[in-house]
A and B are shown apart, each in its own frame.
Chain A
């Protein structure tokens, strides 16, 4: 009990310290992903719609840490058999960014290590795998109010999954991620 009280007090104290001075931001958005993998794009299409969430904390004069999550899903109807195949790619990113603000405009550059995963459900089977990768990008924000901004980001992410040939898996390398152009709405606090 005493321990719980101590942790609660610590969280409140820490939050008060952190949430001061517009050091935090969160944003939600959606964008278009131009998927990396050629075979993927042959089957599921090159352009995918992808929601994203992002949060950041300015830890030192224009430098911020950020955490992001994005995903996209696609389906493919297998010719002749008319069965549906479904794929899902998601990415969890943890990185740093640098931002500079001039009036209502703010631009930033960011980089992150990612943990990307894929799930393919087809042919009465489910395949799951994940791999580490990276993401690089830049963005432009416009503050429509003091703490509210809209922005666009352009980034590239990549993670590689290498598969050995099995009875149900096609061997070889798969590229996850791709070019992303996204719009988002965010809050600074």
Chain B
């Protein structure tokens, strides 16, 4: 009997609950709970655990313990105001526990969870989470776009894949507007008829269909054709806006957006400020006078000279609601010490972007700057669009395995039909002793490290190898260079994982291909910036009413704080597209250092201003804002606690008195909920 009761107690309990127990008793119990008021209707709530998950409000999934007595069930029925929406009868039978989906019209999910967890009869509870399709594009090279996964683009694409109403500009070497992955996303000037030699829309530019060529590359004059003269601009455009889910090549941050080509580089691949100012002027004109919804301009270029005229042009763009997303530079230096422009102009409509790598480290080539660089985005080994046929793609075929092999700069070419030979492990290939005789006429497999690719490849070539395959000494693949043009054997790089697999096979036959392609890998902060520029486009599609400054705040708020980036840039964070697209709590911080003088004495103080915008759907409630300060490389300490009720017009100003001269101070705002958990942080602002 006892065993029988144990086995079927859940069924007895369920019977009681379903037929008579729950609603009346529970309703009565609820009346006693004075702190519960009927909740505002809201279908979906963000999990306060901060995991980004969403669940259906008021619903909870419950699993009861196998041993549930009648009295326990009765108590539960009395105390909880819940309706049973669904009984998972089969699961309950198979697992010999009651599995229910319950609902309360008055208690929130969190309240229900807390109540149920406190019950000894309950074994497990869970919000009724909302799951989404894991929407990935069908672009065949998507798996090689590590950056898109790193910034959580697939999750972002569940919400939005872009809008044809949004225009992003590429101020660069031009764009291959005929590229299969870009053509559909090119902006076309609706007021201009192509190639009729007439300024149809009267904007002062003849035949400016896709944009314009502002560089003096044809007999000193400008022309209407912004076709890419290199590959850089097309690569940048692809990161921002390669057509997604079209079954071809790659996809951009925006699957659907419009790209305006502002070609400004000359054939020597340099840009003069006069060209960039003219390009910005055109962009402003098209937005202001012709209603083009231009959201941002990508500016993946720069150098150390400060130009107040260029700054003014960018400021004017800001006045027109255009954000300039700038590469931080590729010298591996501190922009605070050696300013890099245009990224370094102190303008609110500039985002200066550093490059991160596959391991979420600052890329070794990337500039940084605690005060002058804003955010990081993937910039190492980025695959994107190349002018048609100008890219290279390598493939190493080993049995059934096909590996992505990245041709090194200046690499020789194998025959079009592929180079078939034995793959021979040559260790780290540091000197000739690493290359066994058998490598002669075969392909050398070499581990990266300790010396240059040029030297390793030269040693392999000297040993008679017909190609060199250099696999990474860290995770993932990389793109390398042989340093200079020459009579090189084919040389490619391989991901470490792939290299180790091949090494384990011993000497075995492989075939190496290097083919012309419409895609290729580049790296640099030039590749990081368009990830952020693309994010602005996606935000404009998701939140079209937002002011540009708010879009920037969303990007900063949603970014992933990483230890490796801490104190290297204002956010200390890498772009997270999905979190930026969420309804969010946005903290905007501005700090001004000011001097106060009396008769004899003087001191500095900081005016710390922050504003808060809490999207209706953010699901967070702030109890306390903490103002934190660090100086002289020390950690942050809270200098002021501000209750949410102290804010006026969602903002607060605090005067930090008094500061030491010559000492830099960095400020940060954190919002905490009633449990003391940090639910949002501002950027770090230094003075």
Contact = CB atoms under 8 A, between A and B. Distances in A.
B601 A169 contact: yes
Contacts of B607: 80
B567 to A, nearest CB: 26
Nearest to A42: B599
A123 B660 CA distance: 12
B178 interface: no
B599 A168 contact: no
B599 A40 contact: yes
A108 interface: no
Contacts of A129: 600
A44 B598 CA distance: 9
Contact of B596 (A39, A78, A87): A78
Interface string A62-89: 0000000000000010101101010100
Given A80-B655, A83-B657, A127 B600 contact: yes
A120 B662 contact: no
Contacts of B598: 43, 76, 78, 85, 87, 120, 122-123
A175 B661 CA distance: 27
Interface residues of A, number: 26
A120 B657 contact: no
A80 B598 CA distance: 13
A120 B596 contact: no
Contacts of A40: 599
Contacts of B658: 123-124
Interface string B214-247: 0000000000000000000000000000000000
B602 interface: yes
A180 B152 CA distance: 76
A170 interface: yes
A61 interface: no
B605 A81 contact: yes
Nearest to A126: B601
A39 B657 contact: no
Contact of B599 (A43, A80, A81, A167): A43
A174 B600 contact: yes
Contacts of A9: none
A81 to B, nearest CB: 5
A167 B435 CA distance: 66
A127 B661 CA distance: 17
B597 interface: yes
A83 B597 CA distance: 12
B661 A124 contact: no
Given A168-B602, A168-B603, A174-B599, A123 B657 contact: yes
Contacts of A76: 598
A45 B602 CA distance: 19
Interface residues of B, number: 16
A143 B310 CA distance: 80
B219 to A, nearest CB: 59
Interface in A139-189: 163, 167-170, 174
Nearest to A128: B600
Nearest to A40: B599
A120 B661 contact: no
A123 B596 contact: yes
B603 A125 contact: yes
A120 B601 contact: yes
A170 B596 contact: no
A33 B662 CA distance: 39
A44 B602 contact: no
Contact of A44 (B596, B599, B657, B661): B599
Contacts of A87: 598-599
A127 B657 contact: no
A118 B598 CA distance: 13
B602 A120 contact: no
A170 B605 contact: no
B601 A123 contact: yes
Given A78-B596, A81-B655, A125 B661 contact: no
Contacts of A118: 600
A43 B596 CA distance: 12
Contacts of B596: 78, 81, 123
A167 B662 contact: yes
A81 B657 contact: yes
Q: Which of B599, B658, B662 has the most CB of A within 10 A?
A: B599
A169 B600 CA distance: 6
A141 B662 CA distance: 57
B603 A170 contact: no
Given A78-B596, A167-B661, A167-B662, A125 B601 contact: yes
Given A78-B596, A81-B596, A123-B596, A170 B655 contact: no
A44 B516 CA distance: 79
A167 to B, nearest CB: 4
Nearest to B653: A80
Contacts of A81: 596, 605, 655, 657
- Of B598, B607, B657, B661, chain A has the most CB atoms within 10 Å of the CB of B598
Interface in A106-121: 118, 120
Contacts of A123: 596, 598, 601-603, 657-658
Contacts of A124: 603, 657-658
A84 to B, nearest CB: 10
Contacts of A85: 598-599, 601
A80 B662 CA distance: 23
Contact of B600 (A78, A80, A163, A167): A163
Contacts of B597: 170
A43 B602 CA distance: 13
Contact of A127 (B601, B605, B660, B662): B601
Contacts of B602: 123, 168-170
A123 B662 CA distance: 17
Interface string B511-545: 00000000000000000000000000000000000
Contact of B601 (A39, A44, A170): A170
A81 B603 CA distance: 12
A83 B658 CA distance: 11
B76 to A, nearest CB: 58
9 contacts: A39-B599, A81-B605, A87-B598, A120-B600, A123-B602, A123-B658, A124-B603, A125-B603, A169-B602
Interface of B: 596-603, 605, 607, 655, 657-658, 660-662
Given A81-B657, A167-B661, 17 more contacts: A39-B599, A44-B599, A83-B657, A85-B601, A87-B598, A120-B599, A122-B601, A123-B596, A123-B601, A125-B603, A127-B600, A129-B600, A167-B662, A169-B601, A169-B602, A170-B597, A170-B600
List 3 tightest A-B contacts by C-beta distance, closest first. Answer: A123-B603, A167-B661, A85-B598
